[in-house]
Structure 1
Amino acid sequence: MRSISRFVLTVIGALVAIALTVGFASTASATPGGSPDPTAPVATEPIAAAAEPTPQATPISGCPLPPGDTIEVRTLVGGLLGAAIGGIAGLPIFLAGAIPGLVIGGLLGVLVGSTSYAVDEGHLQQQGLC
């Protein structure tokens, strides 16, 4: 009996460690980098004006993803898939392992779902695909 409880605690500890690692890794990578040092202007000859005016880019206030693709939907789908996978993974340890597997898998699924939405939205804005 003691070996089973040690095994259960080891598996739960490993899942919590993975969840914390994923959570802290996503926050650590979100910190902005430092700005580059300004360089001195280079003295060059003046350039003749172009015959046509330079087109100006107009910033778009919002860059929507496809209709129906919201952060709530991705979070819900990620949570449900994570809970299902966590519950199935915890079944070999019977009900005592399935319940924490559901909770931890659901939390990881929510993290993955919401993060994937934020990443996709950021990529669309950076690439100018709006």
Structure 2
Amino acid sequence: MEAEHRKELIKYICELYKIDAPTGMMLKQIKEFQEEYKYKLKGIKLTLRYFHETLGNPVREGDGLGIVPFIYEEAKADYLQKKAIEESVEEAKKHKQKESIVIIKKQNRKNIKIVDISTL
């Protein structure tokens, strides 16, 4: 699973920075993030996506991945919040209550003849 996440992260970095392969500095930073900060590869990718796509920050050459430690927790909180909202919506769709309307028809009293008991 980790190998798949590594491939996804490298592919995303290449697309983001418009390069063929991550630089040595970027690979060193990824390794540092994993060892020193205990960050997950998927978390690093989501952090970069959050910083550039969600927040709209531009990609600048030579910056590397240095922003990750500063924004990782914020990106994680944003991701978890979005995931909770999606799960809540799915749960609501599953348990959508069906409304039933019951119409009770009253008898028409015009057809009933009144009988005088004293005449019986």
TM-score (norm 1): 0.28
TM-score (norm 2): 0.30
Larger radius of gyration: 2
